[in-house]
């Protein structure tokens, strides 16, 4: 699947290496050298993916993600950084990045990460550009295309929309993937590892706390009382489950 990709990296040699590998995969690639230029390019071109270095002049990568998400832009973001502490990684993901790689990294691993991000975004209703020579798209499966409902919570993968009782809820791509996965099997307990795989695949630098951060923010968005969740529940020692609070209330009645 071809895509329009922006690389924001002030290390010219690093940017050129990544560009060559991504163009070899068939993608259209634009390179910029600072954070403000990255913001301008995303606003102007609406790319499918932004490969974003954290330490950049003018506006750093974390601020770039913060601004893009505040503007409601859903471009996929793969962050690159020399930092490797868990707090740095979680901050990037908390702001709305979709994946994270620490330097030094293998360009082949980066292209594999890009393929995974684009594939998952396509499954969840993203708009990555299809190859010009691609055959007609096959009908999507029910899980991929049809709206999912758990009580008054509604997830529409085709439109990448979430609402609660008809009120729209703005979710990051990572938050959306968690809800969409859990909504396919209401009341099933999803382990943190299972949700982590749905989000990012295996990454030795990211712990189970990544999922907890997403869950915390989702509760603020879809729960009436986030500190006393009734919809997105913790199953202690196991993981999380998505349920219909109204159904549970009926079952609890004598």
The CATH number linked to 180 is 1.10.10.10
Contact between 226 and 217 (Cβ < 8 Å): no
Please indicate, yes or no, if residue 130 is contained in any of the structural domains: no
Number of domains in the chain: 2
Give the CA diameter of the chain.
69
What pLDDT score does 228 carry?
92
- Whole-model pTM: value is 0.56
Residue 133 lies in a domain: no
**12, part of any domain:** yes
**pLDDT at residue 245 tops 70:** yes
Strand partners, 79: 52, 100
E strand or H helix at 13: helix 12-24
Same domain for 167 and 76: no
Length of the chain: 254
Rounded Cα distance, 18 and 148, in Å:
38
Residue 69 domain boundaries:
4-123
Q: Which of 148, 141, 178, 142 is nearest to 163 (CA)?
A: 148
Same-domain check for residues 75 and 154: no
Burial of 18 (0-12, 13-18, 19+ CB in 10 A): buried
Task: Indicate if 168 and 207 belong to the same structural domain.
Answer: yes
> Can you point out the beta strands (E) in 84-139?
99-102
From 102-111, 118-127, 144-153, 210-219, the region with the lowest mean pLDDT: 118-127
Angle in degrees, CA 206, 209, 214, rounded to 5:
105
Same domain, 177 and 119: no
Cα–Cα dist 95/83, whole Å:
16
pLDDT at 251: 54
Contact call for residues 15 and 61 (beta carbons, < 8 A): no
Phi, psi of 241 (to 5 degrees): -140, 155
List pLDDT tens digits, range 33-78: 999 999 999 999 889 999 999 888 888 888 999 999 989 888 999 9
Q: Which of 127, 109, 130 is nearest to 18 (CA)?
A: 109
Q: What is the mean pLDDT of the chain?
A: 81
Q: Are residues 155 and 114 in the same domain?
A: no
Instruction: State how far the Cα of 120 lies from the Cα of 234, in Å rounded to an integer.
Output: 25
pLDDT band of 212, cuts 50, 70, 90: confident
The confidence score (pLDDT) of residue 135 equals: 32
Which residues touch 130 (CB under 8 Å, ≥6 apart)? 1, 2, 137
Query: Alpha carbon of 94 to those of 97, 131, 134, 211, 215: distances in Å?
Result: 7, 32, 35, 10, 11
200 lies in some domain = yes
- Residue 135 is assigned to a structural domain of this protein: no
């Amino acid at each position: 699947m071809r895509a329009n990709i922006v690389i924001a990296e002030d290390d010219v040699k690093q940017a050129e290496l990544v560009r060559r590998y991504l163009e070899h995969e068939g993608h259209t690639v634009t390179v910029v050298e600072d954070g403000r230029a990255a913001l301008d390019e995303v606003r102007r071109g609406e790319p499918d993916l932004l490969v974003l270095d954290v330490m950049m002049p003018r506006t750093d990568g974390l601020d770039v993600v913060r601004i893009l998400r505040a503007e409601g832009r859903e471009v996929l973001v793969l962050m690159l950084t020399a930092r490797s502490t868990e707090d740095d990684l979680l901050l990037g993901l908390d702001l709305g990045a979709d994946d994270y790689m620490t330097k030094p990294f293998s360009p082949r691993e980066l292209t594999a990460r890009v393929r995974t991000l684009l594939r998952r975004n396509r499954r969840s209703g993203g708009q990555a550009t299809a190859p010009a020579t691609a055959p007609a798209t096959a009908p999507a499966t029910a899980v991929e295309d049809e709206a999912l409902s758990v009580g008054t919570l509604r997830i529409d993968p085709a439109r990448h929309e979430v609402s609660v009782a008809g009120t729209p809820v703005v979710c990051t791509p990572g938050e959306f993937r968690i809800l969409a996965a859990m909504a396919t099997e209401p009341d099933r307990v999803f382990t943190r590892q299972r949700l982590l795989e749905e989000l990012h695949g295996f990454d030795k630098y990211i712990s189970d706390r990544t999922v907890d951060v997403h869950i915390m923010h989702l509760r603020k968005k879809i729960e009436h009382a986030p500190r006393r969740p009734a919809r997105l529940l913790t199953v202690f020692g196991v993981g999380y489950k998505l349920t219909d609070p109204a159904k549970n209330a009926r079952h609890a009645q004598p």
